[in-house]
Amino acid sequence: MPASTRRRLLAAAAATGALGWLPGCRTEPPAPARSQGLAPASVPPRTLAAAEAAALLDDLERRTFDYFWQTTDAATGLAPDRWPTPSFASIAATGFALTAWPLGVQRGWVSREAARERVLNTLRSFLDAPMGPQASGTAGHHGFYYHFLDMRSGTRFARCELSTIDTALLLAGLLCCQSFFDGAQADETRLRDGVDEFYRRIDWAWAMPRAPRIGHGWHPESGFISSDWRAYDESMLLYLLALGAPSRPVGREAWDFWASGLAEAWGSQYGQAHLRFAPLFGHQFTQCWVDLRGLHDGFMRGMQAREPGLDYFENSRRATHAQRAYAMVNPEGWAAYGPEVWGVSACDGPADVQRAYGGRMRRFISYAGRGMGGAHTHDDGTLAPYAAGSSIAFAPEIVLPALATMRARWGEHLYGRYGFFDAFNPSFDFADVRLTHGRVVPGQGWFDTDYLGIDQGPMLAMLGNHRGEVVWQTMRRNAHLRRGLQRAGFQGGWLG
């Protein structure tokens, strides 16, 4: 699966059009849970006092919101991929910025009028952007947009791909604003109509060169990327939005194709039987917007005999606990891993080098889709605080002590103006390496000095869901999302 459509490319990779790939999938029938890691002895999580937890989350939530409000271009609505390192805009980060505006209004941090203006400016940027098959000077084609856009011109950055999943993340943010700004004022009516216009322009059939599959994306130089979205990962959101489209939606067969890969993802890791996906963000992204508690599609209804109470929300809860258990077992022997220090997901890293650590040569990497899980484990000792933080709605009992511990132990280097920096690596204490990002603090390891929009975004959305279901309740009112869920065969929960 293209690393670019997974999350993001480094600027250099984007400039060359380089793509990385994750291992492919094979089809097999449902099987009993397969063990891919020993469950550690139970270590009960530390319980934070209510006042301590509230103070921590109050500060983190506000700082993370301020990241989007202060770094997003107010005139265009484009959100930078990262900050403070100068970067291109990310349409996925822009989707998360849009999702932040309703939370800011709810919390009283910004006015409804100011947030509404941001949304209208964002819509204008995308609806008025030049579109077409040209290799440069356009923002997208067939209603889909390039993964990265130049912050000044709003058109394609270098040779990056036209991305279906990143367009879906942008659309999800727009839909959140469409449901939140539900007033009768002319500006709010215009906003809602603009989101519908954005949605109607997406030509889903064009992005399905191997129908009923939705492809990863397209390059004007070489055509469609040769792989498709299938099975358990963040692409659940893409298929739900394609099913719910107000015009030219995909058919039910597209969802059935996507779901046909779920059986092979089922297994057991570190005492948790669940649908597996190595980077933790894959268990989080869709549910930033979609409240899947108590909702069951055909696959989940079929699982009830074996796993009573299982739904996609419970699956993400189990995946979160498996991450904590993995850190406790710490099979790679990295520094600091434990019951309150965990979170392996896609994030920045120190550098692409090999160095001796723990008695053998290790490969350290810069930005990568890190994850844990059997053959797909990709762990170089780098941890991402957002990986734990974005699971707070699933498992607050283990996320809260993890966030508190990481801030208390490394806050001087890991926590700043906009909350947690993207990542850190307590094992990487090599002074002779030219770093891709961040800095080495002697005796404590490597610490990033950048914030990434696509990592800040899910953590902020899930903080909002944990503390009042802000995004979930807003999205429940969206007719397009409801239609997509129903067309996929979901029943129960709030849909009932």
Q: CA 25 to CA 41: how far, in whole Å?
A: 32
Tens-digit pLDDT profile for residues 283-313: 999 999 999 999 999 999 999 999 999 999 9
pLDDT score recorded for residue 37? 66
Residues 6+ apart with CB under 8 A from 424: 382, 383, 385, 410, 413, 414, 445, 446, 447, 448
Residue 33, pLDDT above cutoff 60 = no
DSSP assignment of 351-374 equals -SEEEEETTEEEEE-SSEE-B-SG
- Helix or strand (DSSP H, E) at 205: none
Which range, of 44-48, 184-188, 278-282, 386-390, averages the lowest pLDDT? 44-48
Segment 18-28, tens digit of pLDDT: 222 222 222 22
Neighbours of 25 (CB within 10 A): 13
Classify residue 452: in a domain, yes or no: yes
On the 0-12 / 13-18 / 19+ scale of CB atoms within 10 A, 23 is exposed
Q: Which domain holds residue 28?
A: 3-35+47-495
Helices (H) and strands (E) in the chain, counts: 18, 20
Residue for token digits 């459509």? Answer: 5
- Domain contains 20: yes
Confidence tier at 39 by pLDDT (50, 70, 90): confident
pLDDT digits (tens, 9 = 90+) for 365-407: 999 999 997 677 899 999 999 999 999 999 999 999 999 999 9
**Dihedral over alpha carbons 98, 104, 109, 113 (to 10 degrees):** 60
- Burial state string for 301-330 with b = 16 or more CB within 10 A and e = fewer than 16: eebeeebeebbbbbbbbbbbbbbbbbbbbb
Digit-coded pLDDT (tens) for 404-449:
999 999 999 999 999 999 999 999 999 999 999 999 999 999 999 9
Q: Is residue 209 part of a domain?
A: yes
Tokens of 438: 């961040």
Q: Which two tokens stand for residue 195?
A: 């989101």
Residue 23: predicted pLDDT:
27
Q: Is residue 315 part of a domain?
A: yes
41 domain residue, yes or no = no
| DSSP track, 138-180 | -SEETTEEBSEE-TTT-SB-TTPPEEHHHHHHHHHHHHHHHHH
Write the CATH number for 124.
Answer: 1.50.10.140
Look at residue 3 in the predicted model and tell me its pLDDT: 39
40 located within any domain: no
Please tell me the distance from the alpha carbon of residue 381 to that of residue 377, in angstroms, as a whole number.
Answer: 12
pLDDT band, residue 190 (cuts 50/70/90):
very high
Average pLDDT over residues 209-237: 97
Q: State how many domains the chain has.
A: 1
42 is a domain residue: no
User: Is residue 368 in some structural domain?
Assistant: yes
- Cα(353)–Cα(190) distance, integer angstroms: 52
